């Protein structure tokens, strides 16, 4: 059990290497990818149980003691995110078998997805700020390939923009880490937290905090740095869009959450106030985009931006209830965004269009698709007792107790606008006047719907079982509220 927390990184890594050598055998690649990701899910679930029973788990690579060596750390927040990531990747792989297309499968789709899983799980698990950058780059290089895989004009155009933005962001990340190291002389995240509290240079620390917010905000799509996201996420096919929408921005959110609760909790009057203001603006501009478009993909894409703002506003308050709500809502949003993108993908496959004005009447021939989408839409908007309601309620309760009334009001208003945006899809695309479509067969559509429905069912149980899961999220929030728990586990003081 000592090396348990490294398994969600090693399993997809070895799988990706193996798949690179059997690129011609598509069916074999499919089977190995699914079995490997299923094993990653199993290891992640065992890890959650281990962390819940025994507390924060660490592993010192090469037996070099912290803070001198590279260390992996799995607290409850990390374990929950790794598990959610692995489950979503498994469902997307099953969906891809009949969706992504044989041409993309031949060009290393499955190994690249496994490398993406390595990067995301590694980012959630590392206890070293420079290795966070390394795992970010693994994730981003994989996303570059997935974004342009297929070679359409839109993919190549958006790929150039996406790569340019992330190259600049990565350069700024290295500069910020170097600046931090020059001040503190360490890269271990627990050691950074300890030394920041001892350094009497608030101006420099505040500057570093703002730089980290810019770096991670660009990757997590916080206002005004989300400009690249709608176009870049619109270009790739549905399975890739589901992975991007569910996972990539969440790594940026996690990084802001981890650094702002671990590194910078000592003087929150300035940095966290900036974070709160940007989170509110992110919600506002995300809502404007979500209600303005009649394109099903863009409506859900702008809902990603809204969720980013909601989660980070909870983090900015540094209130126990709001932090717990942010953790809960983060996991909820990963699941429900992946589900919605996959369901919208089924609609597009059937109708051959993303324009709501050219859709209608899907409920007549595909009732199972329509009602599943409605449940997912209600969960996204936060209709009780679904999972979106639980997370928002906790964030609102923490915001009100902290006196953050403006942010709470914006979150409440955004729930109505989110509901309007997704009900617009239901009323115009799924309800409405029936039309004739020449897309995929009913059997094909049913397979894609069944894989998507797995995530919707998971989201429903996630909401209904909130009370049973509460100890896990409380444990995750406790570490965010009390950095000493993390520091003591890593440095073993």
What are 374-423's pLDDT values in tens digits? 999 999 998 888 888 999 999 999 999 888 899 999 999 999 999 999 99
> From CA 168, how far away is CA 215, in angstroms rounded?
9
Where does the pLDDT of residue 2 fall: very low under 50, low under 70, confident under 90, or very high at 90 and above?
low
Distance of CA 420 to the CA centre of its chain: 23
- What confidence score (pLDDT) does residue 292 get? 92
User: Residue 59: beta bridge partners?
Assistant: 72
Contact of 455 with 342, CB cutoff 8 Å: yes
Is residue 269 over pLDDT 90? no
SS3 for the chain is: CCCHHHHHHHHHHHHHHHHHCCCCCHHHHHHHHHHHHHHHHHHHHHHHHHHHHHCCEEEEHHHCCCCCCCEEEECHHHHHHHHHHHHHHHHHHHHHCCCCCHHHHHCCHHHHHHHHHHHHHHHHHECEHHHHHHHHHHHHHHHHHHHHCCCCHHHHHHHHHHHHHHHHHHHHHHHHHHHHHHHHCCCEHHHHHHHHCCCCCHHHHHHHHHHHHHHHHHHHCCCCCCCCHHHHHHCCCHHHHHHHHHHHHHHHHHHHHHHHHHCCCCCCCCHHHHHHHHHHHHHHHHHHHHHHCCEHHHHHHHHHHHHHHHHHHHHHHCCHHHHHHHHHHHHHHHHHHHHHHHHHHHHHHHHCCCEHHHCCCHHHHCHHHHHHHHHHHHHHHCCCCCHHHHHHHHHHHHHHHCCCHHHHHHHHHHHHHHHHHHHHHHHHHHCCCCCCCCCCCHHHHHHHHHHHHHHHHHHHHHHHCHHHHHHHHHHHHHHHHCHHHHHHHHHCC
- What confidence score (pLDDT) does residue 62 get? 75
pLDDT digits (tens, 9 = 90+) for 327-346: 999 999 999 999 999 999 99
Residue 256 in tokens: 């802001």
Choice among 93-102, 133-142, 430-439, 452-461 with the minimum mean pLDDT: 430-439
Domain-wise residue ranges, the chain:
149-491
Q: 63 or 392: whose pLDDT is higher? A: 392
Tell me the average pLDDT of the chain.
90
> From CA 455, how far away is CA 341, in angstroms rounded?
11
pLDDT digits (tens, 9 = 90+) for 206-263: 888 889 999 999 888 898 888 888 888 998 999 999 999 999 999 999 999 999 998 8
Where does the pLDDT of residue 265 fall: very low under 50, low under 70, confident under 90, or very high at 90 and above?
confident
Is residue 352 over pLDDT 90? no
- What confidence score (pLDDT) does residue 268 get? 65
User: Residue 295: beta bridge partners?
Assistant: 355
pLDDT digits (tens, 9 = 90+) for 109-119: 999 999 999 99
Is residue 271 over pLDDT 90? no
Is residue 372 over pLDDT 90? yes
- What confidence score (pLDDT) does residue 79 get? 95
- What confidence score (pLDDT) does residue 267 get? 67
Choice among 63-72, 93-102, 390-399 with the minimum mean pLDDT: 63-72
Choice among 213-227, 307-321, 432-446 with the minimum mean pLDDT: 432-446
Cis check for the bond before 395: say yes or no (omega within 30 of 0).
no
């Amino acid at each position: 059990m000592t090396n348990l927390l490294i398994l969600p990184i090693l399993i997809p890594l070895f799988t990706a290497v193996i798949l690179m050598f059997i690129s011609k055998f598509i069916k074999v690649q499919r089977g190995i990818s699914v079995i490997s990701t299923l094993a990653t899910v199993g290891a992640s679930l065992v890890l959650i149980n281990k962390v819940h029973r025994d507390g924060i788990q660490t592993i010192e690579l090469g037996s070099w003691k912290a803070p001198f060596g590279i260390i992996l750390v799995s607290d409850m927040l990390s374990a929950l995110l790794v598990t959610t990531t692995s489950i979503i990747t498994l469902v997307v792989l099953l969906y891809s078998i009949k969706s992504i297309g044989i041409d993309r499968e031949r060009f290393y789709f499955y190994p690249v997805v496994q490398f993406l899983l390595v990067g995301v799980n590694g980012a959630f698990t590392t206890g070293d700020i420079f290795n966070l950058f390394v795992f970010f780059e693994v994730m981003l290089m994989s996303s570059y390939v997935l974004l342009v895989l297929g070679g359409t004009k839109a993919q190549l155009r958006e790929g150039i923009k996406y790569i340019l933005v992330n190259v600049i962001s990565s350069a700024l990340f290295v500069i910020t880490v170097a600046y931090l190291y020059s001040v503190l002389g360490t890269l271990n995240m627990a050691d950074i937290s300890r030394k920041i509290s001892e350094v009497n240079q608030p101006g420099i620390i505040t500057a570093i905090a703002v730089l980290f917010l810019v770096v991670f905000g660009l990757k997590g799509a916080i206002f005004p740095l989300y400009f690249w996201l709608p176009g870049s996420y619109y270009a790739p096919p549905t399975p890739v869009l589901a992975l991007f929408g569910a996972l990539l921005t969440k790594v940026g959110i996690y990084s802001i959450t981890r650094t702002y609760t671990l590194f910078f909790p000592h003087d929150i009057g300035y940095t966290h106030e900036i974070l709160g203001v940007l989170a509110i603006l992110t919600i506002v501009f995300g809502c404007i985009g979500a209600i303005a478009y009649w394109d099903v993909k863009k409506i859900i894409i702008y809902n990603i931006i809204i969720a980013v703002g909601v989660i980070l506003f909870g983090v900015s308050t540094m209130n126990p209830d709001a932090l717990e709500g942010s953790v809960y809502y983060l996991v909820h949003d990963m699941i429900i965004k992946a589900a919605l993108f996959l369901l919208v993908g089924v609609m597009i496959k059937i109708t051959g269009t993303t324009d709501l004005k050219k859709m209608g009447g899907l409920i007549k021939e595909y009732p199972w698709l329509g009602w599943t989408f409605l449940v997912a839409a209600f969960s996204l908007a936060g209709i009780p007792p679904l999972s979106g309601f639980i997370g928002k309620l906790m964030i609102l309760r923490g915001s009100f107790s902290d006196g953050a009334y403006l942010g709470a009001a914006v979150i409440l208003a955004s729930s109505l606008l989110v509901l309007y945006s997704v009900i617009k899809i239901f009323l115009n695309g799924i309800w409405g006047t029936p039309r004739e479509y020449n897309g995929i067969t009913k059997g094909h559509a049913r397979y894609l719907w069944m894989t998507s429905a797995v995530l919707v069912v998971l989201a429903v149980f996630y909401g209904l079982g909130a009370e049973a899961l509460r100890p896990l999220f409380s444990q995750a929030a406790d570490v965010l509220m009390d950095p000493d728990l993390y520091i003591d586990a890593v440095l073993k003081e």
